[in-house]
Structure 1
Amino acid sequence: MASGDGRRGHQDLVPLAALISREMKNEKMEKPTLKYGCAAQSKKGEDYFLIKTDCLRVPGNPSSAFSVFAVFDGHNGNAAAIYTRENLLGHVIGAIPRGLGREDWLQVLPRALVAGFVKTDKEFQRRGETSGTTATFVIVDGWTVTVACVGDSRCILDTQGGAVSNLTVDHRLEDNVEERERVTASGGEVGRLSIFGGAEIGPLRCWPGGLCLSRSIGDMDVGEFIVPVPHVKQVKLSNVGGRLIIASDGIWDALSSEAAARTCHGLPAELAARQVVKEALRTRGLKDDTTCIVVDIIPPDSSSSLPTSPPPKKQNKLRALLLRIKSRNSSSKLSKKLSAVAVVEELFEEGSAMLAERLGTDDTAAQSTSGLFMCAVCQVDLAPSEGISVHAGSIFSMSLKPWQGPFLCGDCRNKKDAMEGKRPSGVKVA
């Protein structure tokens, strides 16, 4: 761009290599440091977790690194939890177009998470196993945290100053009125377990199947209105950072979000995870598998914010006292300053179970390198005549365009219809 007088001197030009180097240096300096720890106690052997800190948005480029932390709480066996741990990340990454810059990558991530969850569920159900799992899946890229969840495992954020917020929504029929209404509208029945004499006991469950959750991965023996479509929330932390606590319901049945954060204040991440598990067991005992991951997102210069070098050995007592007072005042001022700027910016949040709402409207959606269209969920190639718009069937709504993408293959379209109660569960439509 030209300068104010319409001229630009050669001395202002910067070599491209220098610009790239500068950008990489700035990105590195601005990125927070991650410290994490995990602790668990097993009763049924159905809790699993994933920690992967060497993921790359751009293959071969370390400056594009992001991290994944996840907890999977299985039920009716551990097969679904194991399968989800091994495949969900790959399915999410496979749903993101290649060649995107970081900002575009983060913008399409919520939609890719929806596709990845649904694909994982669809492929696991093909195995014919009846187990299911919750999934709380957290991606940390710089200061941006994106969380997708089904079930009742939970992720909370504890920021500077003690503000604790939930980044997930519990999909328990007992507690979630909206989910109860969605399940019954889709053809399921919600009620308690009936015993001899007609008495009802226990939490609300969905029938057929008797599951207490309204969303999960797997569970092929229950109605397809138990959906794998995740609630997704994306936030951007201030450069003060924060602490994430990701845990299965063995923790949250014993501790509130605030209590879990409070019980490990001041502890490093590894000790914090152990302390949360210890406190949950002290409160409730080992009645369920308990798994906790603590992730600290730390400003890169935090270690230099307070003096670390020891004072000289020889100094008079008055000078030493004055130095301590000055250091204490500086720490107090720094703490107040950090608390004042610990603002979390919400970038995205959506919890609808409807794929048409979650996958959006896209004129150019999903073209593969072969020139064919791709299914927005399972990423298989489609000829133009094979793809079915995710909006098809809503032709009477002028706000939707059923001729536009994203498109689904016939199999994924059938799954979408079943999840929305548009055909009986388990019936395969030719």
Structure 2
Amino acid sequence: MIVAEADLIYRHQVVDLTAISTQVSRFDSVADCAEIIGDAVLESSAVKFVPRIRSGSYADIGPRRSMDDEHIRIDDLSSHLGSIFKPSMPSAFYGVFDGHGGPDAATYIKRNAMKLFLEDFDLPQVSDIDAVFLKELEDSHRKAFLLADLALAAEESISSSCGTTVLTALVLGRHLLVANAGDCRAVLCRKGVAVDLSQDHRPSFLPERKRVEELGGYIDDGYLNGCLSVTRALGDWDLKFPLGSSSPLIAEPDVRQIVLTEDDEFLIIGCDGIWDVMSSQFAVSHVRRSLRRHDDPEECARELVSEATRLNSSDNLTAIVICLSSPACVESSPPQRRRFRFCNLSEEARNRLKSLLEGN
């Protein structure tokens, strides 16, 4: 009887496996099948997802003698640009600017950020975002960085030895575009896992070092041409070749676009004073715990800066926390147990208590 039942189960498994094998044979491989299913699920999740944007920021001078960081935070971009998108589409814009050689270049970029990165470009009136629009948007952001670099060269009030790194993040509906030139960083929290959305442009990054050396520059003790710790920045025209020439130091950004899904909880963007002392995953885990405690992105940014200070960051500190999903579940305090105070009774008192309980 047991043998017969085992044989029946075995033949049933063989039938199931045969059916599965037939389905999988439609694809080139099991891996291809999984990839197709995964992409379909991701696309389905993305189509249904609408980010609920709210943010907070905090900046601190740190141990430096001057504050050269600047940042911009706009949770409702349509209120600044008008209704170029359908009203139900969320839109937001953020930027961090880490100045060097003084604060002037970073201050100029912040003051003119809307004009430089958005208003000067004729964004089409659209009811939805398609691939053509996204390509135009990416191209316009690249041009914006280069034109902002030229604007710094033309601004007589800014020294040619002054510059700034720039990282911007633009949210349009469920689309996120990050552009970066320098060593600021954007990190996405995807179900608790840190996903870097920018590359630190430092001489230690081998592709950047190779590009610099091929264009006649050199790296000395980790510094470009012995004086700058980044390989991409706006300004610093005393280190750049004349217009029209390829230069070791460039302002062209890396641009990355992603489609947000319900797995994407929040985005952190910050200057290098944060990332000098903590990894992307450390920062994401720290903010995630904070959101679960109090659900306040402003306080999260403050706590992240405080943690970088505790870890002995030697730079200015700026962080922006942008929540993308529904408010996190705030951890409630466990109910307090009622505490009883125990005391020792004398033998006489115990006897009296016993008599009372027995009704004597």
Does the TM-score normalized on the shorter chain lie above 0.5? yes
- The whole-number CA distance in structure 1 between the counterparts of 2:151 and 2:224 is 23
Q: How does 1:21-32 map to 2 (within 5 A)?
A: 31-32=50-51
2:104 aligned residue: 79
Q: Match for residue 208 of structure 2? A: 179
Residue 256 of structure 1 pairs with residue 273 of structure 2: no
Rounded Cα–Cα distance in structure 2 between residues aligned with 1:73 and 1:113:
19
Q: Which residue of 2 aligns with 1:362?
A: none
Query: Once the two structures are aligned, what percentage of the paired residues are identical?
Result: 30
> Structure 1 residues 271, 121: CA separation in 2 closer, same or farther (over 3 Å shift)?
same
Contact 1:47-1:81 at 8 Å conserved across structures: yes
Q: When the two structures are aligned, how many residues end up with a matched partner? A: 261
In angstroms, what is the RMSD of aligned CA positions?
2.4
What are the within-5 Å matches in structure 2 for residues 234-313 of structure 1?
234-266=257-289, 267=291, 268=295, 269-285=297-313, 287-299=314-326
Does the 8 Å CA contact 1:156/1:245 hold for their aligned counterparts?
yes
**TM-score normalised by structure 1 residue count:** 0.57
Structure 1 residue 62: Cα displacement: 3.7
**1:51 pairs with 2:68:** no
Distance 1:102 1:81, change over 3 A: farther
Which string of whole-angstrom CA distances, capped at 9 and with x for unpartnered residues, describes residues 366-392 of structure 1?
Answer: xxxxxxxxxxxxxxxxxxxxxxxxxxx
- For residues 264-303 of structure 1, what are the alpha-carbon distances to aligned partners after superposition, in whole Å with 9 as ceiling and x for unaligned? 2232212211121111111115x2100010011014xx68
The superposition leaves residues 139-165 of structure 1 with CA deviations (integer Å, 9 ceiling, x where unpaired) of: 1122221100011010101112x2111
Structure having the higher helix fraction is: 2
Contact persistence 1:58–1:64 (CA under 8 A)? no
Equivalent residues in 2 for 1:154-193, closer than 5 Å? 154-160=185-191, 162-173=192-203, 175-192=204-221
Q: Distance in 2 between matches of 1:243 and 1:252?
A: 17
Q: Name the structure 1 match of 2:135.
A: 107
> What's 2:227 paired with?
210
Counterpart contact for 2:95–2:166, Cα < 8 Å? yes
SS in 2 for 1:134: strand
- Where structure 2 has 5 or more consecutive residues not aligned to the other structure, the ranges are 1-47, 242-246, 333-360
Q: Which amino acid aligns with 1:150?
A: A
1:221 counterpart letter in structure 2: D
Q: Per the alignment, do residues 295 and 126 of structure 1 end up closer, same or farther by CA in structure 2, a change over 3 Å counting?
A: same
Offset at 1:30? 5.5
**2:76 partner amino acid:** D
Q: Which amino acid aligns with 1:152?
A: D
- The answer for unaligned runs of 5 or more in structure 1 is 1-28, 193-203, 309-430
Aligned with 2:180 (options 114, 134, 149): 149
Q: Distance in 2 between matches of 1:136 and 1:102?
A: 26
CA offsets, 1:32-64, max 9 Å, x none?
Answer: 211211112113210000001232365376435
Whether the 8 Å contact between 2:163 and 2:235 is mirrored in structure 1 is: yes
The residue that corresponds to 1:127 in the other structure is 155
How far apart are 1:176 and its partner, in Å? 0.9
Q: Indicate the structure (1 or 2) with the bigger Cα radius of gyration.
A: 2
Match of 1:95 in 2: 121
Secondary structure of residue in 2 paired with 1:264: helix
1:83-121 Cα offsets, whole Å, 9 max, x none, are: 111223323322344334531433322111100000000
For normalisation by structure 2, the TM-score amounts to 0.67
